[in-house]
Structure 1
Amino acid sequence: MPLGFGAPLAEAVRRLAELGYDGVEVQVRDSGVRAAEGLARTVESGGLKVLGIGTGPVAAQDRLTLTDPAPDVRRHALSRLLDAARLAGALGVPVTLGQTRGTFLPGLGDAQRLWAERAVRRLAEEAADHGSRLLLEPQSRANTSLWHTPAEALAVVDSLDAPAGLVLDTHHLDAEGVDAVRAVNRHARVTGCLQLAAPSTRGPLAVGDPRLPALLTALRAGGFTGWLTLEHTQDGDSPRAAARSWTALTDAASALS
């Protein structure tokens, strides 16, 4: 994954633990509940925890979406997501959904929206049935035709019959012209994960970024109980990128204490 730590899991866990990280969000391409024990063992042996299961590779690597015109592709995409939800449940963590909801084609938008809504409802129910919770990520229109703002995603969450929440990503909020600090202030309590990257570049965080203390303050004031994910480009050196972001976050946090 271009926005994730570029190393085998065991090595990534070891290096991140050395830097001071608490856990990892694992991006899953094709894996189900049978992988839970081995995954937890690998991560915990390095002193970290699995905090969430992401599903980005389902679309990013295999081009499977919930709105594909081909019914077989839609079924395959949903099957992958349901497996990820069962894996998340076995680990006792949430499962996230981003670009796998797909993009609209001319003349098919109404049908595609209905397909996506039905699939997300099924996914939320499956997650809840297995002890997990779906977190829906508002993403920019460059990634998907559906649910670009926190308000749009929250309307979907509120329509579900199963527990669900939001993932907020500063990159996607910026791309949609949504003020990230204001969005966190408003939605911290229903947000399970905040994904962070440097403004404009989507690279590692920088010491002195004035938005970081404001975001951390908003999270604290809003009763946030989720996790922070450093989802950004690696600049060809994941350990260095992770160290830069860790330093920027701890510097911002120390300024508030």
Structure 2
Amino acid sequence: MTAPLPWPLAYTVSGDDCRTPVPLGFAAPLAEAVRQLAELGYDGVEVQVREVTAHDADALVRTVGGSGLTVLGIATGPVAGQDGLTLTDPSPDVRRHALDRLLGAARLAGALGVPLTLGQTRGRFLPGLEDVQRAWATGAVRRLAEETAACGSRLLLEPQSRANTSLWHTPEQALAVVEAFDAPAGLVQDTHHLEAEGIDAVRAVTDHARVTGCLQLAASGTRGPLEAGDPRLPALLQALHQGGFTGWLTLEHTQDDDSREAAARSRTALTRAAATLT
């Protein structure tokens, strides 16, 4: 038995500005990806970008909307993943370039009226530079949150595992950062990163559902597509429902050599889990 999800369901896709498809997103150009995702019953996409501005909004809306989907969020992974730009790089030129890219993404998110998410672009510490790098990153993220708010949107900060970044690994650490800002901001929670840090995902969602703008999902252990019957899924959906979650769900996982099949499997697993909601 399946049931409609109470929240919009998105899949990770690569913007046309990306050098290659992102490894945890649909392995096809944007127009083809959204066409297939629409056929599978998805509501929208979370678009990974590397070099964009508000001027890219109209083209993005035409491409995504042409298939009947919506852009639910703008993500910034390729800024670091494809170009190696981070907010903690020892080079001031690299840090400036990274922030400029992120500000462009913030303006695009504002033009679309959707949140901006930030993960690995905050970077990694070098021995002896931890304190100054933390200050660089915190200042830059504050500036990004302010710009995102000024553009009519908000920043969502993603706790990520220490394999990806030296900063803000738990929801509590990320919340301590965003709650210090005057600008509105919240969290992205990702089941893979929570698991990698030894955090129970259901507990994290239960504790922080109202400040979470997006929950990213992948299979436990493998970070692959979701499997029907995964016992975590009903509990996660119930925690979101009871916690007053008002954001969206994103599938962000490996593609197992066939993105269409991966997307179909993950959607089926979620809609079956949704049948248990009360």
The normalised TM-score by structure 2 is 0.92
The residue type paired with residue 14 of structure 1 is R
Deviations 1:29-53 (A, max 9, x none): 1111110001011111101000000
Aligned equivalents of 2:62, 2:247: Cα separation in 1? 22
Deviations 1:147-187 (A, max 9, x none): 00000000001101100000000000000011000000000
Aligned equivalents of 2:225, 2:185: Cα separation in 1? 29
Deviations 1:210-238 (A, max 9, x none): 00000000001111111100000001110
Deviations 1:43-95 (A, max 9, x none): 11101000000000000000000000000000000000000000000000000
**1:113 corresponds to 2:134:** yes
Task: Determine which of 97, 102, 113 is the counterpart of 1:81.
Answer: 102
Structure with greater proportional helix content: 1
- After superposition, residues 44-193 of structure 1 pair within 5 angstroms as 44-193=65-214
Question: Could you tell me how far 1:252 is from its partner in structure 2?
Answer: 0.5
What secondary structure is seen at the aligned counterpart in 2 of 1:255?
coil
Aligned equivalents of 1:30, 1:7: Cα separation in 2? 19
The residue type paired with residue 177 of structure 1 is G
Higher relative contact order (CA 8 A, sep 6+): 2
Task: Determine which of 5, 9, 21 is the counterpart of 2:42.
Answer: 21
Identity %: 78
CA RMSD of aligned residues (A): 0.6
Aligned equivalents of 1:110, 1:255: Cα separation in 2? 47
Structure 2: 5+ residue stretches without partners: 1-21
Deviations 1:82-118 (A, max 9, x none): 0000000000000000000000000000000000000
Aligned equivalents of 1:23, 1:15: Cα separation in 2? 11
Aligned equivalents of 1:88, 1:109: Cα separation in 2? 31
What secondary structure is seen at the aligned counterpart in 1 of 2:74?
strand
Structure 1: 5+ residue stretches without partners: none
Task: Determine which of 200, 213, 216 is the counterpart of 2:234.
Answer: 213
Aligned equivalents of 2:277, 2:141: Cα separation in 1? 38
Aligned equivalents of 1:255, 1:172: Cα separation in 2? 25
The residue type paired with residue 125 of structure 1 is E
The residue type paired with residue 79 of structure 1 is D
What secondary structure is seen at the aligned counterpart in 2 of 1:57?
helix
Task: Say how many residue pairs are matched.
Answer: 257
